[in-house]
Amino acid sequence: MDVKSQNKYIYNDTTLMMKLKLCYFGDSVICNNYDALELQIPLPECSNGEYHTYIINDIYYIVNPADGAYSGSGGGTIYLYKKTENEFVLKDEIWGHFDKKNYDLENGFFYYYKTDKSDLTYVDYQYKFIVNTEKERFEIVQTKYKHWGEKEYKILDKS
Specify the pairing of strand 123-132 against strand 137-147.
Answer: antiparallel
Phi, psi (degrees; rounded to nearest 5) at 39: -100, -5
Q: What CA dihedral angle connects 48, 124, 96 and 47, to 10 degrees?
A: 10
Rounded-to-integer distance, Cα 117 and Cα 134, Å: 34
Q: Which residue has the higher pLDDT, 85 or 111?
A: 111
Strand locations in the chain, DSSP E?
8-11, 50-56, 60-66, 71-72, 75-83, 88-98, 110-116, 123-132, 137-147, 154-155
**Boundaries of every domain in the chain:** 8-155
Q: What CA dihedral angle connects 21, 71, 3 and 90, to 10 degrees?
A: -40
pTM over 0.85: yes
pLDDT tens-digit series, residues 106-130: 999 999 999 998 888 899 999 999 9
pLDDT tens-digit series, residues 12-67: 998 999 889 888 888 877 787 777 878 788 888 888 888 999 999 999 999 999 87
Spell out the SS3 assignment of 23-53: CECCCCCCECCCCCHHHCCECCEHHHCEEEE
